[in-house]
Amino acid sequence: MQQQIGIAAITMTLGRLGQTAGLIPDHGYAAAEIEAMQVIQQHLEQHAPEAFSNGEARLPRLSALGIRACRHCGCTDAIGCPEGCTWIAEEVCSSCAGADKDART
């Protein structure tokens, strides 16, 4: 199962990269991305539904990849909030400071 997920993840990425780079035929790369994503989705739903959990929000759990993410909005060091943000706690960004307060009271 892990091997098939790995192959599907690579295929999905190649499909996305091909489309982004404008490779042709475009629909071939789009098909690769969509088909591979459906394979991964089926595995996730059957065997790893917890992969979507990240604190109170239902976000992908990036910590499994060693990436710090805000537990409320999912922003990361590389992809911050549109208005800009900083870390105010281990997994809380400044944009979500109010959300964190509300969640604890």
Q: Which of 81, 87, 91, 97 binds Zn ion (CB under 5 A)?
A: 81
Least spacing, CB of residue 27 vs Zn ion, in Å: 36
Q: Is 70 in the site for Zn ion (CB under 5 A)?
A: yes
> Cβ closer to Zn ion: 54 or 95?
95
* DSSP character at residue 72: T
Contact between 94 and 85 (Cβ < 8 Å): yes
**C-beta contacts of 96-99 below 8 A and 24+ residues apart:** 96/70, 96/72, 99/72, 99/73
Residues that bind Zn ion (CB under 5 A): 70, 72-73, 75, 81, 85, 93, 95-96
